[in-house]
Amino acid sequence: MELQMPKIFEESQTLKHRLVEFVMLFAAVTLGFFAENQREHYLEAQREKDFIQDIRRDVEFELKEMNRLMNTQSRRAKEYKRLAELDEANWRSNIPYLYYADVLFSLKLNWSPTQETYKSMLATGALRYFRDQKFVAMLKEYEMLLDRFTARRERFLYFMYNHYDPIWIDHFRLEIDKVPMEKRTDMISALTGRPDFIDVKNEYANFQTLRNQDTFDIEKYKEVVGRAILLEQNDRVFLQEDFVRKSNELLAYIRENYDN
């Protein structure tokens, strides 16, 4: 006669089997969740590193452009001291110098920061990948300075287009299209070099007249150049030097905390 297992025992075994299956399924789901979570953390950390390297390249580029601009501003401010010595009695004997000075004073050097990485991060919400809130705060402060200087630079360019360029058009603009192509290099070399050292054989080295010379007002010209110099000096004192300092601090922080 075959021995029968009690029904209650069979039900107990079935319950135990189901409980084991539930525990295994729960463990698999939990482990999968943790694995996915770890993977997400890893990807976010990797994105953070990638963004930081992109930011570093942007800051390095913008700092290089700022230093280039500040060097030109320093040259302009220094050259203005010589220009200020000219007056109605002596400017006509310094026309070659005026042409040289115009090349320096008329430079616009449009300020065009990249900000591509930061703008992209704002648009996509990628700042959430950054766990280093100190870095985020430094970056936002840096970008605010950059925006402020960009607006101030636009103000300077507006002044140049409206006040300097009319003088340039009336008195300094050269009809380069009338110069033979093979001689344009000599002409440009004459204008961009110091008149003291220009080759006397260069036929474009010594300009003796200005366009519409009889209406040229040396005092008005000095006033316009002086106002342009003052605008740039104010920007340098109130924004540019601070921008350079913030840029170097940001780069130093990246090197210290993110360079392995």
d(CA 81, CA 77): 7
DSSP 169: I
Nearest-5° Cα angle at 165, 162 to 167: 110
**What would the pLDDT profile of 205-249 be if each residue is shown by its tens digit?**
556 788 899 999 999 999 999 999 999 999 999 999 999 999 999
> What pLDDT does residue 174 have?
73
**What would the pLDDT profile of 73-93 be if each residue is shown by its tens digit?**
999 999 999 999 999 999 998
For residue 49, what pLDDT band results from cuts at 50, 70 and 90?
confident
CB 101 within 8 A of CB 22: no
> What pLDDT does residue 31 have?
60
Nearest Cα neighbor of 76 from 95, 109, 104 is: 104
Query: Helices 7-83 and 218-235 sit at what angle, rounded to 10 degrees?
Result: 150
Task: Tell me the two tokens of residue 101.
Answer: 């000075």
**What would the pLDDT profile of 12-43 be if each residue is shown by its tens digit?**
666 666 666 666 666 656 665 555 555 555 45
For residue 128, what pLDDT band results from cuts at 50, 70 and 90?
confident
Q: What is the CA radius of gyration of the chain?
A: 34
Q: How many CB atoms neighbour CB 83 within 10 A?
A: 22
Please give the biggest Cα pair distance in the chain: 138
CB 66 within 8 A of CB 244: yes
